[in-house]
Each structure stands twice: as structure tokens, then as C-alpha cells.
């Protein structure tokens, strides 16, 4: 079991709307590719601590405002890859 952090999509969409941004605008403001923003929003990728900080700063929100912590079952290879990425 490992712990991963994913975006709370509805909360991120509300924060984007409050800032009068699009997902592409968020990507530019945060310095992250729009493709990666899309993957994070779909849940196919988990944001690293650095990306989480960039998103928080761009949207002017706290961690708890836009992220969800979850425990995920994984095999040994995935745990190694996750540890290396974070």
C-alpha cells in the first residue's frame, strides 16, 4: 500500500473558474505543459510535490483545497517508480 496525491477535479475546475483561467491558462501560469495538466485532471497521472506546489501557487489555494490523499495497492515495481518520482 502506498499513499498518492491526486487532484480533486471539481475543486480545481472551480478554482480555475474563479481565476478566469482555462486549463491551458493554468498550465501557462503554473509553468506546466497543458498535456500534463490534462493527464492530472483525468487522473491518469499523479502530480509530484513540485507540480502540486506550482498548481497551488497558480490558483492561490491550499493543498487541502484541491488535492485528495489516497492509499493505493501496488506491486513492488510501481512502488519503486513512485518513490523515484517523488
- 86 assigned to some structural domain: no
| Residue 33: strand, helix, or coil | coil
Q: What is the pTM for the complete model shown?
A: 0.82
- 59 assigned to some structural domain: yes
Nearest to 25 by CA among 9, 37, 14: 37
Q: Please report, in angstroms and rounded to a whole number, the separation of the first and last CA atoms in the chain.
A: 16
- 1 assigned to some structural domain: no
**Domain CATH code at residue 52:** 1.10.260.40
* Per-residue pLDDT of the chain in tens (86 residues, 90 and over written 9): 899 999 999 999 999 999 999 999 999 999 999 999 999 999 999 999 999 999 999 999 999 999 999 998 877 655 545 555 54
Neighbours of 60 (CB within 10 A): 10
Amino acid at each position: 500500500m502506498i499513499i498518492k496525491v491526486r487532484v480533486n477535479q471539481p475543486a480545481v475546475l472551480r478554482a480555475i473558474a474563479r481565476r478566469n483561467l482555462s486549463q491551458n491558462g493554468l498550465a501557462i501560469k503554473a509553468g506546466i505543459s497543458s498535456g500534463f495538466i490534462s493527464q492530472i485532471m483525468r487522473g491518469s497521472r499523479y502530480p509530484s510535490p513540485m507540480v502540486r506546489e506550482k498548481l497551488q501557487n497558480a490558483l492561490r489555494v491550499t493543498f487541502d483545497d484541491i488535492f485528495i490523499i489516497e492509499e493505493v495497492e501496488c506491486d513492488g515495481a510501481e512502488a519503486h517508480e513512485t518513490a523515484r518520482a517523488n
